[in-house]
Structure 1
Amino acid sequence: MSDPSDLVFVALGGAGEIGMNMYLYGHGQGAKRRWIMVDCGVGFGDMETSPGIELVMADPSFIAEQSDKLVGIFATHAHEDHIGGLGRLWPQLKAPIHARPFTGLHIRRKLEEAGVDPRCLNIVDVGETIEAGPFKVRFQPVTHSIPEAASLVIDTPSGRIVHTGDFKVDDDPQIGAPFDLEAFRAIGSKGVQAMVCDSTNVFLPGHGGSEAEVIRPLTDLIRSAKGAVAATTFASNVARLKSIATAANDAGRAIVLVGRAMERMVSAAVETGLLRDFPKVISDYEAKDVPAEHVLYLVTGSQGEGRAALARIASGSHPTVRLGEGDMVIFSSKTIPGNEPGVVKLWNQLSERGVHVVDESSPELTGRIHVSGHARKEDLRALYESLKPRIAVPMHGEHRHLVEHSAFAASLQVPAIPAPNGTVVAIGGDRPVIVDQVPTGRLYLDGDTMIGAMDGVVRSRLKMARQGHVVAALVVDEGGELLADPEIRVIGGPSQSERWPMPLEAMIYEAVDEAVEGLPKRRRADKDIEEVASRAVRAVCARRWGKRPVVTVIVTRLEDE
């Protein structure tokens, strides 16, 4: 009889947060344990927690340090929070990547952009079984808000695991096959040891809703518009893009794709044969010659992203698209928690231009214009009843989601446990058991450079953003005497106040000059000058400004020839 700890699960990202998904399954003991990774995603930086950061991803160091034991990487679908880190992180992992065609096309692009040879990518057909060490893995199609999403059926010597990936139960998804509960019943009939399951919408009752539900309300809304219409949604929701484009075409409107992500997603869906009847598209330059009432723009930026097409349209800085009085913008999406400030700013900018903004709460709607891609409680119940897992581990959720999902599983007589990032859970027994903890963390893409959470870059940037920055440049002779007046620059701080006797830089100058001149001659090494000047800067700023800025003192010592 196998030891329950022969089979383990650990999240390096995606458990205790939504995004940056990176999950590991291990089989065996000690040095003989082999691993597979499921997904390798990213999150996005924001001004509040990571100013200037492009991407955030889970730190794979735990598995990268034993990459010779990583026998495969499996991608469930093409959302950025599931595949966005593969290009940057694959050189640390060096394991074969397996994905369905649509997902694989996006992974290939990411690998090529990062300079990684895409021959590490294996495209998998539905029904094909991949053998990777002690694991046998196959992709089971599910419905989600992107084409070709899949659960993973993972067979091991210690039992079968079902990793659900992101899913909902949709009988009419518009693109791809309906959700097949019968297939999951067949999977469950062979016995499922553990289900590791999506928790995103565990707090919401009922079913997630079908993509088919949004077609008629969107059609009615577009037909009612008098001027130009711009519709925004997640670019990866190809079924929604098709529904909006078809409704616009039926209303006699030309369709324009605005934003690189829109163009790439539609192109990928056409290239992989998922989109066969998408209406004709014209360029944004061609659209300038079409009357506004005959145009619909499909635009990126539903989450208020500052560099997306809709943000530039709202600010008036887009090179070709202009919206104004009498035009309409449709948000066929839900605002992700945390993105509300950016979205509200966008709405206000559009409103100031006279644009009518419509979202799922607008009173003129004849029905839903957005449905989520994630399972609600009744969808979860249907999957539990189909698979009948012995145990469960919630994933893809904040800590509160994991706790709620564990309680929900328990109500169905399935033992479950919240296992946030870094928690090693033995899943081979009658109940999940925490057996270890491994280090986890964050990596940041800053421009084109990867930095670690412990490098101090983000922490310093946050401090400068909140407290400002003061630079004092001092030139001294060989004996440490000032050869010129100190140069002071205050960055991100007020220059003067009516309560101050002089500008802030002048007050700092006087304090630094006095502090350095007052140093004993025996204490005029560079480090002594830096220390006393820093103290003087901080004292003035605390007393006059009420802040403790980041202080940089630069000492240049000129030696006699």
Structure 2
Amino acid sequence: MEIEIATIGGYEEVGRQMTAVRAGDDVVVFDMGLNLSKVLIHDNVETERMHSLDLIDMGAIPDDRVMSELEGDVKAIVPTHGHLDHIGAISKLAHRYDAPIVATPFTIELVKQQIKSEEKFGVQNDLVKMEAGGTMAIGDENELEFVNVTHSIIDAINPVLHTPEGAIVYGLDKRMDHDPVLGDPIDMERFREIGREGVLCYIEDCTNAGKKGRTPSESVARRHLKDAMHSMEDYDGGIVATTFSSHIARVKSLVEFADDIGRQPVLLGRSMEKYSGTAERLDFVDFPDDLGMYGHRKSVDRTFKRIMNEGKENFLPIVTGHQGEPRAMLTRMGRGETPYELEEGDKVIFSARVIPEPTNEGQRYQSEKLLRMQGARIYDEIHVSGHLREEGHYEMLDALQPENVIPAHQDMKGFAPYVDLAEQFGLEVGETLHVTRNGKLIQLVE
């Protein structure tokens, strides 16, 4: 059977992931993501109202024209998890393909919300839920399987396309967490089984490949966060926290520790309300009944007024803005555009790291400067990554023993450490180790 892989997006940057695998006459598309930094660099861009061609020209979503060179029919569109760099282009591109969108329940719900907010295209693709551990026939000879992984968002999987020539393992994004705060541990037993059955190709996220050691568990971040927040227990001023809105496990920890130190948590910002509300509605997390979640600006400002009236020392606002996004809550607070008044000595907890990209780094720097100008004390990097480090990558290569490897989710500089590691397993650049660019085709089996 002919096996061909199109590396469409995410092979020159972190963001706008999209890869297609053709096995015989069947094609499966993995991810359709957005490069948010390409949007944020422009003022007041609303992607919902933009045409896909304009977004492609900006470098914000994948240029999928290479798909016309694949001689087969798309049978499924498979996002691995609900981060925007993996689902953010579905509302712009999925309608071009007569295929269902297949994902885990939480991811499907987020895709549904993306499609609902779309104002340019009518996306009518069927939405199919499949749990981790589930399988689905792709044509007559291939099978799709979801393997449970742990990441900085719940309900993440690595999809595997089983073909007569061996398995294609799409390995974006994960960390090797054996003690997660929410959900099940990574299913390394199944990965080892797939390795013994035979892996034709492994496509892997290289984000942290240059960092030695292993990525700590989310339970480590939880302990770090607990220590930081308990150290503030006797502070009688304002404490504000920010984290990735999609990081439900971290939001859960913030909510619990707020209660421990005698403060009422409240979630503020559109994306904070969206992700946490969706997770609670689907029973992925159990928040207190009285936890307030407010996304609309007027309701957020009303909540800030209530906090000021009843005393900042009684509340923990958990807000959007960990990357310094211009319209996020924390950025507005730093600019003095909300009723919440920051004062000398108030604490701001960044339970997130800066995404290493110039736009984010610049915006985060500006946000912190504004907060410090108002006297805020910054508690930074209370976080663990959602991506594998060097030893995690070593374990995955050892478990899968792939015949071919395609590094992804980085630029050329970011691929280099992973290439060095893969070569230790006998893979050869240009032969079995395929360092590629966006818009390229790789023929694995002719």
Q: 1:118 to 1:148 in 2, by over 3 A?
A: farther
Tell me, yes or no, if the aligned pair for 1:22 and 1:39 is still in contact at 8 Å. yes
Where does 1:306-321 land on structure 2 (aligned, <5 Å)? Answer: 306-318=326-338, 320-321=339-340
Tell me, yes or no, if the aligned pair for 2:32 and 2:85 is still in contact at 8 Å. yes
* 404-413 or 36-45: bigger deviation: 404-413
Where does 1:119-268 land on structure 2 (aligned, <5 Å)? Answer: 120-133=126-139, 134-225=141-232, 226=235, 227-268=237-278
Correspondence for 2:52: none
Task: Measure how far apart 1:64 and its partner are.
Answer: 6.4
In structure 1, C-alpha distance between the alignment counterparts of 2:248 and 2:71, rounded to whole Å: 35
In structure 2, C-alpha distance between the alignment counterparts of 1:275 and 1:305, rounded to whole Å: 26
Larger Rg: 1
In structure 2, C-alpha distance between the alignment counterparts of 1:427 and 1:310, rounded to whole Å: 48
Correspondence for 2:93: 89
Q: 1:159 to 1:46 in 2, by over 3 A?
A: closer
In structure 2, C-alpha distance between the alignment counterparts of 1:274 and 1:61, rounded to whole Å: 37
Correspondence for 1:8: 4
Q: 1:108 to 1:388 in 2, by over 3 A?
A: same
For 1:196, what is the secondary structure of its paired residue? strand
Task: Measure how far apart 1:410 and its partner are.
Answer: 1.2
Q: Which runs of 5+ in 2 are unaligned?
A: 48-59, 295-299
In structure 1, C-alpha distance between the alignment counterparts of 2:390 and 2:369, rounded to whole Å: 35
Amino acid at match of 1:195: Y
- Of the candidates 336, 343, 366, which is equivalent to residue 355 of structure 2? 336
Task: Measure how far apart 1:12 and its partner are.
Answer: 1.0
Tell me, yes or no, if the aligned pair for 2:20 and 2:28 is still in contact at 8 Å. yes
Correspondence for 2:313: 293
Correspondence for 1:385: 398
Task: Measure how far apart 1:172 and its partner are.
Answer: 1.2
For 1:397, what is the secondary structure of its paired residue? coil
Amino acid at match of 1:426: Q
Task: Measure how far apart 1:90 and its partner are.
Answer: 1.9
In structure 2, C-alpha distance between the alignment counterparts of 1:94 and 1:258, rounded to whole Å: 38
- Of the candidates 350, 360, 376, which is equivalent to residue 355 of structure 1? 376
Task: Measure how far apart 1:195 and its partner are.
Answer: 0.8
- Of the candidates 6, 20, 24, which is equivalent to residue 24 of structure 1? 20
Amino acid at match of 1:208: T
Tell me, yes or no, if the aligned pair for 2:26 and 2:138 is still in contact at 8 Å. no
What fraction of aligned residue pairs are identical, expressed as a percent?
32
1:105 aligns with 2:112: no
Task: Measure how far apart 1:269 and its partner are.
Answer: 0.9
In structure 2, C-alpha distance between the alignment counterparts of 1:179 and 1:353, rounded to whole Å: 43
In structure 1, C-alpha distance between the alignment counterparts of 2:247 and 2:39, rounded to whole Å: 27
Q: Which runs of 5+ in 1 are unaligned?
A: 361-368, 430-561
Task: Measure how far apart 1:117 and its partner are.
Answer: 5.4
In structure 1, C-alpha distance between the alignment counterparts of 2:257 and 2:40, rounded to whole Å: 39
In structure 1, C-alpha distance between the alignment counterparts of 2:398 and 2:225, rounded to whole Å: 34
Task: Measure how far apart 1:289 and its partner are.
Answer: 4.0
Task: Measure how far apart 1:197 and its partner are.
Answer: 0.9
Task: Measure how far apart 1:49 and its partner are.
Answer: 6.1
Tell me, yes or no, if the aligned pair for 2:6 and 2:66 is still in contact at 8 Å. no
- Of the candidates 62, 67, 78, which is equivalent to residue 63 of structure 1? 67
In structure 1, C-alpha distance between the alignment counterparts of 2:69 and 2:320, rounded to whole Å: 38
For 2:35, what is the secondary structure of its paired residue? strand
1:419 aligns with 2:436: yes
In structure 1, C-alpha distance between the alignment counterparts of 2:202 and 2:445, rounded to whole Å: 11
Larger RCO of the pair (alpha carbons < 8 Å, separation 6+): 2
Q: TM-score, normalised by structure 2?
A: 0.87
Amino acid at match of 1:19: G
- Of the candidates 14, 26, 47, which is equivalent to residue 34 of structure 1? 26
Q: 1:45 to 1:181 in 2, by over 3 A?
A: closer
In structure 2, C-alpha distance between the alignment counterparts of 1:327 and 1:73, rounded to whole Å: 46
1:401 aligns with 2:414: yes
Amino acid at match of 2:211: L
In structure 2, C-alpha distance between the alignment counterparts of 1:199 and 1:316, rounded to whole Å: 39
Tell me, yes or no, if the aligned pair for 1:402 and 1:419 is still in contact at 8 Å. no
In structure 2, C-alpha distance between the alignment counterparts of 1:136 and 1:278, rounded to whole Å: 41
In structure 2, C-alpha distance between the alignment counterparts of 1:342 and 1:126, rounded to whole Å: 36
Q: TM-score, normalised by structure 1?
A: 0.70
Task: Measure how far apart 1:208 and its partner are.
Answer: 0.8
For 2:406, what is the secondary structure of its paired residue? strand
* 373-382 or 127-136: bigger deviation: 127-136
Correspondence for 1:554: none
Correspondence for 1:549: none
In structure 2, C-alpha distance between the alignment counterparts of 1:172 and 1:387, rounded to whole Å: 22
1:376 aligns with 2:389: yes
For 1:370, what is the secondary structure of its paired residue? coil
Task: Measure how far apart 1:67 and its partner are.
Answer: 10
* 407-416 or 46-55: bigger deviation: 46-55
Task: Measure how far apart 1:62 and its partner are.
Answer: 3.0
Tell me, yes or no, if the aligned pair for 1:403 and 1:417 is still in contact at 8 Å. no
Tell me, yes or no, if the aligned pair for 2:22 and 2:72 is still in contact at 8 Å. no
In structure 2, C-alpha distance between the alignment counterparts of 1:259 and 1:389, rounded to whole Å: 43
In structure 2, C-alpha distance between the alignment counterparts of 1:45 and 1:52, rounded to whole Å: 13
* 386-395 or 412-421: bigger deviation: 412-421
For 2:310, what is the secondary structure of its paired residue? coil
Correspondence for 1:305: 325
Q: 1:48 to 1:267 in 2, by over 3 A?
A: closer
Amino acid at match of 2:131: D
Task: Measure how far apart 1:223 and its partner are.
Answer: 2.8
Q: 1:190 to 1:68 in 2, by over 3 A?
A: closer
Tell me, yes or no, if the aligned pair for 2:334 and 2:367 is still in contact at 8 Å. yes
* 53-62 or 12-21: bigger deviation: 53-62
In structure 1, C-alpha distance between the alignment counterparts of 2:272 and 2:372, rounded to whole Å: 24
Tell me, yes or no, if the aligned pair for 1:255 and 1:280 is still in contact at 8 Å. no
In structure 2, C-alpha distance between the alignment counterparts of 1:109 and 1:64, rounded to whole Å: 28
Tell me, yes or no, if the aligned pair for 2:36 and 2:85 is still in contact at 8 Å. no
1:345 aligns with 2:395: no
- Corresponding residue pairs, total: 412
In structure 2, C-alpha distance between the alignment counterparts of 1:68 and 1:27, rounded to whole Å: 8
